[in-house]
Amino acid sequence: MAKEAARQMREEGPNKMQTKPNSLGEMKKSTWNEACSGQRTVKDELRENMMRKLAAGEELFPGIRGYDDTVIPQIINAILSRHHFILLGLRGQAKTRILRELTDFLDDAIPVIAGCEINDNPYRPICRSCKDRLQAEGDAIPIAWLPRDRRYVEKLATPDVTIADILGDVDPIRAAKGGHDLSSELTIHYGMLPRANRGIFAINELPDLSGKIQVGLFNVMQEGDVQIKGYPVRMPLDVLLVFTANPEDYTARGKIITPLKDRIGSEIRTHYPATIDEGIAITSQESWTSRNGAVRVAIPNYIREEAEEIAFQAREDKRVDRRSGVSQRLPISCLENAVSSAEQRAIRNGEKLAVVRVADIYAAIPSMTGKFELEYEGELRGAETIARELIRSAIGKTFTRYFADTNLQSIVQWFENGGELKVAAAAKASEHLAELKKVQGLFNHTAALGVGPKDDPAVQAAAAEFVLEGLWAHKRISRSEERGFYAEPRKVPEPRDSQSRMPRRQFN
């Protein structure tokens, strides 16, 4: 019966809470008695629910992509080992999101003494107020049921955080109203950590905490001792501590005290997407590209690849500070902004279909420049210039994946023979397509992008523009704001004398 009650606790929703006991006496007479009065800690609870989900083949971290073979198995090991753990990684690697999803491994609801500040177990209260209430009220003491989403407490570490914020402080007003001595436990105003009792306490950017607060944390982690204003209080808190940090700060001397590192059971390294496909999956999931409007928006696959490749290029560029990282928010923001650019063009031109093209990626530069920090060399060139160069490199990489073995000389030759092409970025799709069709052999190669002659003019124009941008990225043709696409005339080498190997000269 106890196992059945525990299963019911996990599976019933908050709307079923009225079926649960409302007092300690009712609980003792119900099937919940044995299930709730056991010695199971929050770490045991997470471990048991994790094992149940593993056995059932359930998805453990919905929405978290790219970590199936790296980060997630390590988190599973940490939870099964009942470890406090820390996620080390650069910005934009879903660290906070992972911590918040840990609540899925908690029971649906747990019984607490109604009105308790620190979620005391009705059978084993640890705060002085609840101990006194239990002694006075006995089995009549009321019980509340705490849902899983209220058992997660999160704090962003900043230099102004105090020990009182985390652990608590003596409240002189409470002492005066209750007629208590300041040394009494009844005068304590509990901080965020005690209020996370029987749940999960997360701290983002751990190294930003001052040293004395870090000391308070490891003391709670190991011994369960809390000192508030010099008054020792024994509080065996039942809590899982999880943290996030930047690897540079975490390993720097003076940023984090060694005893605290020693008490953190597992250090788990997060990372950026390993492949373009993983990045595209994350960006597609997180970006707002399905617009609700009169204009239908289409994003070609090669544009998605290009937006993702920009982030990959930035992470490898020596002019970009690798210590701060390039967040996955860069391709997300870039794609959203590019969609808006295409949407704006279609609305202005009275078109029903907006197809994102390379020009829209350039229009999205304002969404990129704030997403990376520059080294000294990059600062000299400027963020916008670096962004344009990253886009060009990304176009080149994406272009190679589609046209590595394709002979595009006929297109290049058209420009070398004096052809020039300049189309306004805001031009209608039909006008854009008409101008692009002037280029000899250009539309013979759009099939590699999955585009044919029967496709919408906006789709065809976007594909043809990408081909020209790819040739420019590989320096086979030129491009400028004034002339558009063109080619420099070929330089015919002067004949050389076979003996001197020097150019022949004309003498009068």
pLDDT of residue 425: 84
Give yes or no for residue 40 having a pLDDT over 90. no
Where residue 72 falls among pLDDT bands split at 50, 70, 90?
very high
Residues with Cβ within 8 Å of 451's Cβ and at least 6 positions away in sequence, in order, are: 300, 459, 460, 463
Give yes or no for residue 38 having a pLDDT over 90. no
Cα 289 to Cα 92, 93, 336, 369: the distances in Å are 19, 21, 6, 20
Give yes or no for residue 507 having a pLDDT over 50. no
Residues 92 and 177 both lie in one domain: yes
Residues 291 and 193 both lie in one domain: no
Residues 288 and 256 both lie in one domain: no
Where residue 36 falls among pLDDT bands split at 50, 70, 90?
confident
Residue 504 lies in a domain: no
Mean pLDDT, the chain, rounded, equals 87
Query: What does the pLDDT look like over 240-287, one tens digit per residue?
Result: 999 999 888 887 756 888 888 888 999 999 999 999 999 999 999 999
Residues 260 and 358 both lie in one domain: no
pLDDT, average across residues 169-198: 74
Residues 281 and 255 both lie in one domain: no
Lowest mean pLDDT among 74-78, 167-171, 183-187, 276-280: 183-187
Residue 361 lies in a domain: yes
Residue 507 lies in a domain: no
Closest CA to 419 of 411, 407, 408, 427: 411
pTM (predicted TM-score): 0.86
Residue 110 lies in a domain: yes
pLDDT of residue 256: 84
pLDDT of residue 170: 72
Q: Are residues 14 and 109 in contact, defined by beta-carbon separation less than 8 angstroms?
A: yes
Give yes or no for residue 177 having a pLDDT over 90. no
Closest CA to 337 of 362, 308, 374, 320: 362
Lowest mean pLDDT among 153-162, 184-193, 241-250, 303-312: 184-193
Residues 239 and 381 both lie in one domain: no
DSSP state of 421: B
Residues 189 and 244 both lie in one domain: yes
Give yes or no for residue 12 having a pLDDT over 80. no
Lowest mean pLDDT among 33-37, 84-88, 286-290, 448-452: 33-37
pLDDT, average across residues 167-185: 68
Residues 461 and 417 both lie in one domain: yes
Q: Are residues 486 and 423 in contact, defined by beta-carbon separation less than 8 angstroms?
A: no
pLDDT of residue 142: 94
Where residue 178 falls among pLDDT bands split at 50, 70, 90?
low
Residues 137 and 261 both lie in one domain: yes
pLDDT of residue 37: 67
pLDDT of residue 258: 85
Give yes or no for residue 7 having a pLDDT over 70. no
Where residue 486 falls among pLDDT bands split at 50, 70, 90?
very high
CA angle 111, 117, 122 (to 5 degrees): 30
Backbone dihedral region for residue 206 (phi beyond 0: left; psi -120 to 50: alpha; all else: beta)? alpha
Residue 496 lies in a domain: no
CATH of the domain at 237: 3.40.50.300
pLDDT of residue 137: 92
Concatenating the DSSP letter of every residue in 158-197 gives: -TT--HHHHTEEE-HHHHHHHT--TTSGGGEEE-HHHHTT
Residues 287 and 247 both lie in one domain: no
* Number of folded domains that form the chain: 2
Residue 506 lies in a domain: no
Residues with Cβ within 8 Å of 222's Cβ and at least 6 positions away in sequence, in order, are: 263
What residue numbers bound the domain in which 15 lies? Answer: 2-269
Residues 262 and 373 both lie in one domain: no
Query: What does the pLDDT look like over 85-109, one tens digit per residue?
Result: 999 999 999 999 999 999 999 999 9
User: Alpha carbon 113 to chain centroid distance?
Assistant: 37
Lowest mean pLDDT among 49-53, 177-181, 391-395: 177-181
Residue 494 lies in a domain: no
Give the whole-angstrom CA distance, residue 141 versus residue 136.
9
pLDDT, average across residues 174-187: 66
SS3 at position 266: strand
Lowest mean pLDDT among 174-183, 384-393, 435-444: 174-183
The domain boundary, picked from 269, 292, 326, lies at 269
Residues with Cβ within 8 Å of 277's Cβ and at least 6 positions away in sequence, in order, are: none
pLDDT of residue 494: 60
pLDDT of residue 11: 54
Tokens of 189: 């105003």
pLDDT of residue 470: 96
pLDDT, average across residues 212-229: 74
Tokens of 173: 């007003």
Residues 241 and 299 both lie in one domain: no
Residue 501 lies in a domain: no
